[in-house]
A and B are shown apart, each in its own frame.
Chain A
């Protein structure tokens, strides 16, 4: 069976969930061979093996942390040349997409970004994409070279499928461009203890109707009752009520959770672009005419300052 390269997104050896989803998708089109780079790369092997990686190619060097993107492209290219895979899959993070794009150009291949599903086709893998603010679904193939495809989080359920996961050292020679962009400082984001927005199964968002930084405590309390991530509309972010890293929408993050709860969000196209593919959508809004209600499975027309605390209390009671 053909091998499929899977680029591993990990933090000091802890594999992030979108990579495990990728391994599940990779098994539909071949045998996954994982590529893990940087600090803790070899520590990823157990988790990767448990989810189907037949081999884990690892390499660590200071360049991965000290310079932007290109050292990782050099390494993925080295893995590509060593394995000659049938396809290359990369998580659709901002960095993942940049790595994948540069690799595709170097190996003379087409690239598909932000796939939401993947299946085997007669002439190579077929990717599903969700476009125009999720109002259309397209099926796309790479028609030249080895398909390079980036896949969004929550595109597949994680399935365990134990495989050998043999760790092998990858040989990497960095090119002249690798040290072009220096990372002079890095400030890790403070953990809120909540799930990462793009990976969360449930997202609770607040918008213009939340009306103030301190009021976001109501949104956070609801999120915590459900073990959810907190999102914010652009209006709330632009007003300075919540950090930009939590913005859901066209210029922020795109989320596709099992459940999305929009509070005080009207549902402008820019916001819908980032959440329309959520499986179940719920909204609370004072304005019965708000376009968000066209999307919902369940909507409450009412004041979020009444409805949300009551909902949170009820959830906490039921969880007892």
Chain B
């Protein structure tokens, strides 16, 4: 029986660019290049490895975002995913984590799935709550923040490294998994993969395809409201000294003056 894997990915503004807010206090996507969130590359990689181990598996990569978000899907397809779904709708602008989880859960159900794999967090919002929200909505086990993951005989197993302990987890499929950047280096797309990706199907769905009303998502439907966003004031220039043999002592002097010693 085929193992149906859905990988959720996000198209995010490049962290090395000058990220800022638009007038409506949503993330300004026009002035900064976007890309597949680095942490989602690990999710694609683990999906590919799990698919390799399975007799028969199909990987669908899913994103919710504007037109440009197709770039993120193309990257995942060129890494080796089989097909893609792009959920795009003008009414989605400004959707928060709770709304995003609704769209993802509806799309995952429509696509059909045995296993959902996500990155541990996006590199822009960094909340890390969407996988848990999707699991809650789908009513399936969450097996999240894994640094190691495998699937065998309809059971997903993994290792979750927390602050206090490292835990071994286990759940029956269907399930929602999220993986950390310790799960294994993500592969680079090969030339062959990039060429093949151009021929892979990308389905486009909008809110009506998912039976979601416009009021449930977007800025109007958001469960939170951003009142203000202020750029952090530039730090006042600090004191910089060159070590000429006394650098450590000078630094100790500074720490003492600040009462740290």
Contact = CB atoms under 8 A, between A and B. Distances in A.
Contact of A282 (B129, B137, B251): B251
B225 to A, nearest CB: 4
Contacts of A133: 15, 19
A68 interface: yes
A298 B239 contact: yes
A189 B163 contact: yes
B241 A139 contact: no
Contacts of B239: 297-299
Given A94-B162, A132-B124, A143-B222, A251 B261 contact: no
B98 A105 contact: yes
A47 B222 CA distance: 37
A101 B251 contact: no
Given A202-B260, A294-B235, A319-B261, A299 B240 contact: yes
Contacts of A102: 132-133, 135-136
Contacts of A177: 136, 139, 141
Interface in B129-187: 129, 132-133, 135-137, 139-145, 147, 157, 160-172, 175, 180-182
A297 B254 CA distance: 10
Interface string A94-127: 1101101110111001111110000000000010
Interface string B96-107: 111001000000
Interface in A179-225: 180-189, 196, 198, 202
Given A105-B98, A282-B251, A139 B226 contact: yes
Nearest to A244: B182
B97 to A, nearest CB: 7
A103 to B, nearest CB: 9
Interface string A133-166: 1111111111111000000000000000000000
Contacts of B97: 101, 111, 113
A188 B126 CA distance: 26
B126 A114 contact: yes
Contacts of B129: 97-98, 100-101, 111, 113
Interface stretch (B82-90, B109-117, B242-250): B242-250
Interface residues of A, number: 92
B157 to A, nearest CB: 8
A315 B252 contact: yes
A11 B164 contact: yes
Interface residues of B, number: 82
Contacts of B228: 138-139
Contact of A110 (B124, B172, B180, B223): B223
A270 B161 contact: no
B1 interface: no
A174 B169 CA distance: 19
B16 interface: yes
B218 to A, nearest CB: 13
A186 B166 contact: yes
A302 B20 contact: no
B52 interface: no
B69 interface: no
Interface in B32-75: 38-39
Contact of A98 (B132, B140, B181, B242): B132
A293 to B, nearest CB: 6
Given A105-B137, A182-B169, A299-B241, 14 more contacts: A68-B141, A102-B132, A105-B133, A114-B127, A131-B229, A132-B20, A135-B232, A143-B223, A180-B142, A296-B240, A297-B238, A299-B238, A306-B247, A315-B255
28 contacts: A69-B142, A70-B142, A95-B162, A98-B129, A98-B144, A101-B133, A102-B135, A102-B136, A105-B101, A112-B224, A113-B128, A134-B232, A136-B232, A138-B226, A140-B226, A143-B222, A183-B168, A186-B165, A188-B165, A198-B163, A273-B15, A280-B260, A288-B242, A293-B238, A296-B235, A298-B239, A299-B239, A310-B247
Interface of A: 11, 68-70, 73, 93-95, 97-98, 100-102, 104-106, 109-114, 126, 130-145, 177, 180-189, 196, 198, 202, 226, 244-245, 250-251, 258-259, 269-270, 273, 276, 280-282, 284, 288, 293-303, 306-315, 318-319
Across chains A and B, which 6 residue pairs bring their CB atoms closest together, nearest first? A302-B243, A310-B248, A110-B223, A180-B141, A101-B129, A311-B248
